[in-house]
Each structure stands twice: as structure tokens, then as C-alpha cells.
């Protein structure tokens, strides 16, 4: 989980130690941001309007999910 904070000027930042009104967002699921947008979770949790460009900045700040392979737990099995 990561914390998304809205500053007084409306900018969103990602970080657990940042002051201000915040919302928690899952870190490892790329669809989590999309789900938050559809449910208007950012606006509700942060109690104010959130611009699309700010949401894209948050999406870019999140680590990308691992691709298929042994690191993601989906290793191919030999038959």
C-alpha cells in the first residue's frame, strides 16, 4: 500500500511520511488506479477535486507490476 497525499494547491504526491489529507492505494496492482478513478475514490478520500493529470502523475510514481515469469509466481512447468 502507498499513501497518496493532496497538497493545498491540488497536487498529488506519493509517500507515507507526507503531511496532509491522504488516501491509501494498493501498490502492486496496475488496475488499482483505474478502479479508484471509476469509483471516484480520490475525490471522496481527499475531499476535493482531483485532476486527471495529477492521477497520471500518481500512476507514473507507482512501481510497475512484474511481468510473467518466476518473479511473479507464474513459472512455467516442464512436462
Binning pLDDT at 50, 70 and 90, where does residue 61 land? Answer: confident
Question: Would you state the cell numbers that stand for residue 18, as one nine-digit string?
Answer: 507526507
Q: Is the pLDDT of residue 47 over 50?
A: yes
Q: State the average pLDDT for the chain.
A: 78
pLDDT score recorded for residue 77: 34
Predicted TM-score (pTM) of this structure? 0.67
Domain ranges of the chain: 2-64
pLDDT of residue 38: 92
Across the range 6-20, mean pLDDT stands at: 85
Q: Using DSSP, state whether 68 is helix, strand or coil.
A: coil
Q: Three cell numbers at 47? A: 475531499
Give, for 42, the enclosing helix (H) or strand (E): helix 41-46
Amino acid at each position: 500500500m502507498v499513501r497518496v497525499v493532496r497538497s493545498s494547491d491540488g497536487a498529488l504526491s506519493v509517500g507515507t511520511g507526507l503531511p496532509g489529507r491522504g488516501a491509501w492505494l494498493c501498490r502492486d496492482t496496475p488496475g488499482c488506479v483505474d478502479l479508484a478513478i471509476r469509483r471516484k475514490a480520490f475525490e471522496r478520500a481527499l475531499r476535493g477535486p482531483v485532476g486527471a493529470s495529477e492521477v497520471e502523475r500518481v500512476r507514473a510514481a507507482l512501481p510497475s507490476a512484474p511481468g510473467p515469469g518466476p518473479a511473479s509466481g507464474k513459472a512455467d512447468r516442464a512436462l
